[in-house]
Every structure is written in structure tokens, then in C-alpha cells.
Amino acid sequence: MSSAVEPLKPSAGQPSDPSASIKDVGASEIRIKGQTKIVPSVEIGNRTVIADGKWIKVGEVRHEELVEGDTVRDPESFVAQLRKSGLKVDLFTFAQRVPECTCKYSYHTEWENAASIAITTFDHWWKDLAEYSIRKAVNRARKLGVVTRVVKFDDEFVKAACPIYNEVSVRQGKAFWHYGKDFQTIKHELNSYLDRSIFIGAYLQDELIGFMKITWVGTTGTITQILSKMEHFDKRPNNALIAKAIELCEVERKSHFIYGSFVYYDSTSSLTEFKKRNGFEALPLPRYYIPVTLKGRVALALGIHRGINAFIPKPMFRQLRKLRSVWYAQTRKFSSESE
């Protein structure tokens, strides 16, 4: 289970205190694949633990990739409090975050990979990390009139962003999670961590054709949303946005710029290739799993906590992705012809 999606509500900025009291908050909102879901939760110290899953209930710190400080400062004490809380959890998981890549604990460990750029100077990124095709794309965007700048998050910005969300129902060969959302929903989903987030807009004259939201987390900057109009794909707004973000990370003296995971399920995906060409590298991060119940211990031993995708052979997974893309392409074509 991962709630690595656009956050809803800020968490406190200090590391969790295992000696703090347990506060039952009943339920919390998370978003998985663009859809809001209400899940059971409990507050331990200043960390909210959510529980999700059908057969195996997995607990994790809500929006752990965006809370500041250690996700869990003292895992033993934290899990002991989790057991006392009454929240039904079979496994508890948490990960270390950039730049801490060396294992600190001896729990069951599985490795994730963050797509990360180590920030030194913009010139270093431009000359040594970004591929020639990326420099060409950024220059093309500039020549075609695309201007990137930091923008204020307000109703005017959200209204300008709505057409981007609702331009097409399919992106990257699959259904677009955010398609069809209205003004209030989009505003609610973007209105989070504003005290340490910035928005960058890509404009063509007065039209917003793309935007990026970055949330500052300690010494890092994390992309929590990047989206642009397919109509203006040829103007390379996403490349222009990333270049602007690197400039801002240097100004803010951040150590790393993060764009989700480097690889999700398929190392040959177009998204992974895009990140690679933009200078992102896979930074390994340990994720720990701690059994809370006997069922959790058995699930961990059998590996079923990873979900069904982990058991699908990679070649078969790629074929299924291709079939999905063809199906969506045919569906769009039929829909267009029917209109």
C-alpha cells in the first residue's frame, strides 16, 4: 500500500515522539490513483497512521514522503503504541528518505528507488546531467514563447488549471485519474502544505499550459504534481518546468530534487525514460516492514504484502500494459467518431 499521492492536510514538522499520547482520530482521507478514500487511522505523537488493504491490513504514516523529520524516530516504541491503539493493522511499514540511503535498522527490508537529482548548480545540471535532447527541448520551449514563473495559488490559478485536468481522459496509455474533476475538487486537492510549497506555471502568452507543484521537505524539493496540456506537447512545457525547478532548488539551497520513484513496475516505461533523460537517477532507499500480528508475520514470509503485481512476470506485465494502451486508444477513437 502506498499513499504517495497529492496530500490533503499538513502534518507536524517535528519527528514523532514515541512517548506522546495516543489519540484516536477515527478516519483519514487519502488518495490512491486520484480517488479519495476514507480509511481508519490513529494519531501517535504527531504522526497519523493509516490502515489500508483488503486481506492484509498495512499501516503507514500518512503522507510519509512529505512529513518533516524522521518518519518514525523510535520504531520499537512506535509499534508498541500502535498495538495499544486498537487500530487493526497486520503490518507496519515505513521508509527512510533522501538523503538517508544506508540502512539504520535490522527489520525486514525491501528496497525502493527515488528519482533524484543531487543539486549543486543549474549549470552542472544543464551541462553534465541533462541529456542533449532535454537541453534542446528547453530551448525549443523558450523559442516558441513558453515562459515559466512562480505563481500564487489562488482561485485564478485553479481556474486556469482546470482545463489542463479535463483536456483528455487518457494519458500515457491509461485512464487519467484526475479527468472530470471540478473546480472545488481540484482546489481542495492542491490546497495542502501551502506554507512550504510553491507552484510554477508554464505560460504561452496568457494561457497556462502546464504547472508544477513542489513541496519543500527538509533539504529536499519534491514534485507533488506536474501536468501540462497535450495540445501543447510540442512546446515541451514539462521540460521547461523541470529546468525552472532546478533553478529554484539551487536558490533554496536544497540538496536533492525528487520526482517520485525512478521505476514503478516497468523499467522500460516512457516515464522512467523521461526522468533519466532529465538527469534523475535511481537513489535506493530502504523500506522496513514490521509484523504486528501473526497474520502479518505469515504475509511477510510469503511475500503477499507486495500485492498481485509483484507476482506477474515482467514480460507479461509489459504485454498487459501494451494491451491496455491499445484498448484505451480504440476506446478514444470510437468515442471521437460517435460525437
pLDDT tens digits for range 268-324: 788 999 999 999 999 999 999 999 999 999 999 998 887 666 656 666 656 665 665
Per-residue cell: 136: 534542446
Q: Are residues 100 and 129 in the same domain?
A: no
Q: Are residues 88 and 125 in the same domain?
A: no
Average pLDDT, the chain: 85
Query: Is residue 170 over pLDDT 90?
Result: no
Range of the domain at 74: 22-111+287-333
- Identify the CATH number of the domain in which residue 155 sits: 3.40.630.30
State the average pLDDT over residues 68-76. Answer: 91
| 123 CB-contact burial (10 Å; exposed 0-12 / middle 13-18 / buried 19+) | exposed
Q: Are residues 67 and 101 in the same domain?
A: yes
Per-residue cell: 188: 481542495
Q: Are residues 158 and 236 in the same domain?
A: yes
**How do 281-291 and 91-95 pair as beta strands?**
antiparallel
Q: Are 36 and 64 in contact (CB under 8 A)?
A: no
What distance separates the 2 farthest-apart alpha carbons in the chain? 63
User: Residue holding cell 541529456?
Assistant: 131
Prior bond of 291 cis (ω within 30°): no
Say how many C-beta atoms besides its own lie within 10 A of residue 314's C-beta: 11
Helices 183-190 and 155-165: angle between axes, nearest 10 degrees: 110
**Residue among 96, 95, 139, 98 at smallest CA distance from 119:** 98
**Beta partners for residue 288, in sequence order:** 94, 109
Provide, rounded to the nearest whole percent, the portion of the chain with pLDDT above 70. Answer: 80
Q: Are residues 157 and 54 in the same domain?
A: no
Last residue of a domain, one of 254, 275, 299: 254
Q: Are residues 199 and 88 in the same domain?
A: no
Report d(CA 93, CA 330) in Å as an integer.
40
Last residue of a domain, one of 235, 254, 273: 254
Report d(CA 129, CA 40) in Å as an integer.
43
Sheet holding 207-217, edge to edge: 22-32, 35-44, 47-52, 58-61, 91-95, 281-291, 108-118, 256-261, 220-228, 207-217, 197-204, 146-151
Prior bond of 99 cis (ω within 30°): yes
Last residue of a domain, one of 254, 276, 303: 254
Q: Is residue 321 part of a domain?
A: yes
pLDDT tens digits for range 41-54: 999 988 999 998 88
Q: Are residues 92 and 124 in the same domain?
A: no
Work out the pLDDT band at 28, boundaries 50, 70, 90: confident
Q: What is the DSSP letter of 307?
A: -
Per-residue cell: 251: 536558490
Q: Are residues 305 and 182 in the same domain?
A: no
Q: Is residue 314 part of a domain?
A: yes
Q: Are residues 74 and 164 in the same domain?
A: no
Q: Is residue 269 part of a domain?
A: no
Amino acid occupying residue 330? Q
Instruction: Tell me how many domains the chain contains.
Output: 2
Higher pLDDT, 83 or 26: 83
Per-residue cell: 275: 526522468
Q: Is residue 192 part of a domain?
A: yes
Q: Is residue 69 part of a domain?
A: yes
Say how many C-beta atoms besides its own lie within 10 A of residue 66's C-beta: 22
Q: Is residue 11 part of a domain?
A: no
State the average pLDDT over residues 143-170. Answer: 95
Q: Are residues 323 and 239 in the same domain?
A: no
Work out the pLDDT band at 335, boundaries 50, 70, 90: very low
Q: Are 304 and 91 in contact (CB under 8 A)?
A: no
Ranges 31-35, 77-81, 194-198, 268-272: which has the least confidence: 31-35
Report d(CA 153, CA 188) in Å as an integer.
12
Higher pLDDT, 23 or 62: 62
Work out the pLDDT band at 209, boundaries 50, 70, 90: very high
pLDDT for 45 equals 86
Q: In whole angstroms, what separates CA 270 from the centre of its chain? A: 17
Query: Is residue 38 over pLDDT 90?
Result: no
Q: Are residues 125 and 212 in the same domain?
A: yes
pLDDT for 24 equals 65
Report d(CA 288, CA 292) in Å as an integer.
13
Query: Is residue 12 over pLDDT 50?
Result: no
State the average pLDDT over residues 77-94. Answer: 94
User: Residue holding cell 510549497?
Assistant: 197
Q: Are residues 125 and 107 in the same domain?
A: no
Q: Is residue 72 part of a domain?
A: yes
Q: Is residue 280 part of a domain?
A: no
End-to-end CA distance of the chain: 39
Indicate the pTM of the whole model.
0.82
